[in-house]
Each structure stands twice: as structure tokens, then as C-alpha cells.
Amino acid sequence: MNTNRRSFVKATATLAAAAPFILTARAQEPQRKLGVALVGLGSLATNQIAPALAKNTRLCKLTALVSGTPEKLTKWQAQYGIPATHCYNYEQFDRLKDNPDVDIVYVVLPNSMHPEFTVRAAQAGKHVFTEKPMANSAAECQQMIDACKQAKRRLGVGYRCQFTPHHLEMIRLSRYEVFGRLKCVEAAFGFKIGDPTQWRLRKALAGGGALMDVGIYAIQGMRYLVGEEPVSVQAFETKTDKVKFAEVDETITWELKFPGGVLAKGATTYAFNGMNYLRGLAENGWFELGPQAYGYGGLNGRTSKGPLELPQVDHFAAELDDFAECILKNRPTRASGEEGLADLKVIEGIYRSIAEGKAVKLG
């Protein structure tokens, strides 16, 4: 077992030990829940994050709002009982420094805006949790990491799947070689995207297309099943609608090679539905999630020995409670800025391979 894999196995033992905390329905409530300021009140914040904070989190709660749309602030203020003094526009954002009711700033903005508001939040003395992808480039990821370290604040990334029973079990099956040594990983996530005017199809805001938005889930799955960092990648792009996807990628496939010999095959798309799986092929069997491997709820899977029957959890509540616990207990989060940086390095390698028309080295 090489050094990289040994360190990942050790980390997984810690992760497995944390699983009961994640799955516990209710534990003793802390004296004070950590306050969360949501920055950006779009569909993800509206439909997933705010309801999780209102109903399912044990260690944190919604205490402040940041939006460039006054009407949204008014509506949310009434719905969640947030005082007017705790509502900000983007120009007023830095005033969060003087708000003792805010411990964590959750950045839920277009990708290109993550670095600015992460740095500003850290400088305001707040811990930062940002949606994935962490930024549009590895260089920006490093700037965010450095800013939080300098401010002595924690930085987490919204890798919610790492906190679900199904993905935790996939990691356990791989790392403890329940079906023998892992030989191959197959992962894919994609969907048919709608509105052609949305920000996700603008390169300046999104940094890329399907790969940045949902392909990153497949990359994450490959990395945490294998337990190593890939050493090379070869990728291919297909584009059937050059008008809608004039600025960003539509469909990409890739192959990652890992130092231990595992081959990983991945795919992502904005062109069609039904691509949603994570599969590990080992010496003596297989294990997989699908046809729902990355959705917000209703995950399912099976192994060569039978179905994976595991509890369903609120992904956003699980990841936020874990981040809050990291702050309260002064321990690192596995969904760290360094994790976000590692994914962006792979993504940049995939884009470079497409541009150069050949396999490229990573690292």
C-alpha cells in the first residue's frame, strides 16, 4: 500500500467514525447554534439550503441574508423572521464584520463570484462555506485558501455527497477492499439543461459548462473511491448545439489514471438526462450508486451481493452541521478548500487535454 493510499485509508477511518454523528436524528442541542449568512438567494438557496437551515440542522441556523434584489430580501425577511438589521446588499456585505449573530458565511453565487466573497468574508472575521465548484481556476482556489488561513478562519466547500450514508458506504467498500482491490471506477453526471440565457451557460460566470457544474461530482467520486490523486488524463468533447453552448462545454468524456494502477472513466453532459451513476469494479465484485447517485434525495445503489439499503438524509443539513462541528470542536473538514483545489486541477487538466488533443500529466 503506497503512502498516498495509506493516508487516505487513515482518513476514512476518521470519516467512518464520524458517520454516527451524521446519521443521528437528534442529539443534545448546543447552547447556541452557529449563525449562517446566506449570500445569494437563488434557486439553490431557496429550495434546498434555507429549508435545511430552518428545519433540519442541529448546530446552525439562518441569521442573515445578502442579496442584490431588494424584493427577495423583503420576502425572505418575512418568511424566515430575519430582522432588517441583518439584511444586506452586496455593497454592504463587509458590515457582516460587526454582526455577532453571524459565524458562517455561505456563498451561493455564480462560480466567478466565489473568490471575491470568500476573501471578503474571511477578512470580516467569518468562517466561509462556498458552493462548488470552489472557483473558476486553481489559482483562485489557492487565493481563497490563503485568505482564510491568514484570517484564521475555516473554509469549507459544498461537497454534500461526502456526508450521505450512500457515498460513505461506497468509500468504505473501496478503502477497506470489501470486494478486493479496486481496479476501475466509472462515474458520470449530466442532465438536459433548459433556459439558454442562464448564467451557467456564460463562461465568464460559470468558468465552463457541464464539467464545472455537475461533472465535478463524478471527479469527486473517482478521487474518493480510489483514495489517490490522478497522475494523467485524456479527455474528449462533443458539441451538438454550437449556438446554445457557444461559450461552454456540452458533453465531455475522460479517462483518469492513478498511481496505483486504477483506471477511471468519466462523463458529463448538458445535452440529455439519465447520466447519474458511480461504480466501483474490484477483484471480487462490484458496488454502485444509481440510477440516482448525486441527487438531493432518494439515492440508491447495490453491490454484487445485493442492494444498498441505507437511510436518506438532508444533504445540506448534513454538510452544514459537519462544518459547524468542525468550528465548534476545532477540527478540519474533509470537504476543505484543498479538496476544491484538487478538483479544479483535474478540471483544468481535462480542458487542457481537449485543447491539445492528447493525454496530459497532472500534478
- Catalytic choice (106, 132, 159, 351): 132
User: Distance from CA of residue 60 to its chain's centroid?
Assistant: 19
Q: For 268-285, what is each residue's pLDDT tens digit?
A: 999 999 999 999 999 999
pLDDT in tens, 174-206: 999 999 999 999 999 999 999 999 999 999 999
Q: Which of 88, 217, 270, 277 is catalytic?
A: 217
Residue 4 banded pLDDT, cuts 50, 70, 90: very low
242 assigned to active site: no
Reply yes or no on whether the pLDDT at 19 is more than 70: no
Is 217 an annotated catalytic residue? yes
What value does the mean pLDDT of the chain take? 93
Which tens digit of pLDDT belongs to each residue from 232-244?
999 999 999 999 9
The pLDDT tens digits for 34-46 are: 999 999 999 999 9
pTM score, two decimals? Answer: 0.92
Compute the chain's Rg from CA coordinates: 20
Q: Decide: 245 and 210 in contact? Cβ < 8 Å.
A: no
Q: Report whether pLDDT(1) > 80.
A: no
Among 1, 22, 8, CA closest to 324: 22
Interatomic CA distance for residues 230 and 235, integer angstroms: 14
Q: 302 near 183, Cβ under 8 Å?
A: no
Domains of the chain: 32-157 (3.40.50.720), 161-311+334-361 (3.30.360.10)
Overall average pLDDT of the 302-312 stretch: 97
* pLDDT category of residue 123 using cuts at 50, 70 and 90: very high
Give pLDDT tens digits for 213-222.
999 999 999 9
Q: How confident is the model at residue 297 (pLDDT cuts 50, 70, 90)?
A: confident
- 3-class secondary structure per residue, the chain: CCHHHHHHHHHHHHHHHHHHHHHCCCCCCCCCCEEEEEECCCHHHHHHHHHHHHHCCCCEEEEEEECCCHHHHHHHHHHHCCCHHHEECCCCHHHHHHCCCCCEEEECCCHHHHHHHHHHHHHCCCEEEECCCCCCCHHHHHHHHHHHHHHCCCEEECCHHHHCHHHHHHHHHHHCCECECEEEEEEEEECCCCCCCCHHHCHHHHCCCHHHHHHHHHHHHHHHHHCCCCCEEEEEEECCCCCCCCCCCCEEEEEEECCCCCEEEEEEECCCCCEEEEEEEECCEEEEECCCCCCCCCCCEEECCEEECCCCCCHHHHHHHHHHHHHHHCCCCCCEHHHHHHHHHHHHHHHHHHHHCCCEECC
pLDDT at 264 > cutoff 50: yes
The Cα 331–Cα 11 span in angstroms is 13
Confidence band of 30 (pLDDT split at 50, 70, 90): low
